[in-house]
Amino acid sequence: MRIAELSERSGVPIPTIKYYLREGLLPRGEATGRNQARYGDEHLSRLRLVRALTTVGGLSVATVREVLAEVGEPDVGLHSKLGLVMRRLPLVGDDIEPLEEDRERALALVTRRGWHFYPDHPALHALAVVLAGHREVGHSVGDADLDRYAEAAEGIAAVDLDRISGLPATEEVLEGAVVKTVLGDTLLTVLRRLAQVDESAARNLEGAGRRAARGD
């Protein structure tokens, strides 16, 4: 198909497609003339993927390029490859510098949960940054709440890994893991918001016997 059709079918404007081509996010099409190229279904899939990761997942174009480059590189096993890909995903801004106490709390949590961890993993640093952010505005998260959140995260990670365990480290499997992690963060945020509405309504209407009516 021509670039116009590619644009129409993907919903991505032509200038954006040209930008992705220049940035190497989308492979060049097959040249059919001096200024023309033909694109295939693989271009359409890739465009949709880039759009979903940026629009729904909130990733920058630069990050998408890095992550997809990592996905495309051959490697040994699924788990080591997954680790490399996931380390590329951005987690939190670096404007806030955690204190030693924030770092210690982050380390204490993963230790308390018995989590296998890497001391240099960006997520461990990010945890210290987020704890610092809470502390700085006077709304620190207590250990009990942190443990309950961590427990929920364990349940989520089990779902995440259940889907792909035992599969080979192909580009398709890794791409699926990236999509379900990045878009999944947004999905979980949305589900949390909806569950908060329900939880808030339940507590607000408790006096009116709502829970009793639901049989809770």
Distance, CA of 18 to CA of 25 (rounded, Å): 10
Q: What is the 3-state secondary structure (H, E, C) of 40-52?
A: CHHHHHHHHHHHH
Tally of CB atoms within 10 A around 190: 10
- Give yes or no for residue 112 binding its own copies (CB under 8 A): no
Q: C-alpha 27: how far from its chain's center?
A: 24
- Give yes or no for residue 1 binding its own copies (CB under 8 A): no
* Secondary structure letter of residue 31 according to DSSP: E
Map residue 30 onto helix, strand or coil.
strand
Smallest gap, in angstroms, from Cβ of residue 160 to its own copies?
6
Tally of CB atoms within 10 A around 205: 12
Residue 30 identity: E
Place of tokens 């001096």: 34
- Give yes or no for residue 157 binding its own copies (CB under 8 A): yes
Residue 174 identity: L
Smallest gap, in angstroms, from Cβ of residue 141 to its own copies?
7
- From candidates 83, 101, 104, 112, binder to its own copies by CB under 8 A: 83
Choose among 145, 158, 176: nearest CA to 115.
158
Residue 96 identity: I
In terms of CB distance, is 39 or 86 closer to its own copies? 86
Q: Which residues pair with 37 in a beta bridge?
A: 31
CB-based contacts of 123, cutoff 8 Å, min separation 6: 91
Show contacts with its own copies in window 161-180 (CB under 8 A): 161, 163, 165, 175-176, 179-180
In terms of CB distance, is 32 or 40 closer to its own copies? 40
Show contacts with its own copies in window 117-156 (CB under 8 A): 117-118, 121, 123-124, 126-127, 129-131, 133-134, 136-139, 141, 145, 148-156
- Give yes or no for residue 61 binding its own copies (CB under 8 A): no
- Tallying the residues shown for the chain, one arrives at 216
- Give yes or no for residue 111 binding its own copies (CB under 8 A): no
Tokens of 25: 């996010």
- Give yes or no for residue 107 binding its own copies (CB under 8 A): no
- Give yes or no for residue 48 binding its own copies (CB under 8 A): yes
Smallest gap, in angstroms, from Cβ of residue 24 to its own copies?
19
Smallest gap, in angstroms, from Cβ of residue 73 to its own copies?
18
Show contacts with its own copies in window 19-38 (CB under 8 A): none
Pattern 177-196, its own copies, x by CB under 8 A = --xxx-xxxxxxxxxxxxxx
- From candidates 6, 67, 89, 174, binder to its own copies by CB under 8 A: 89
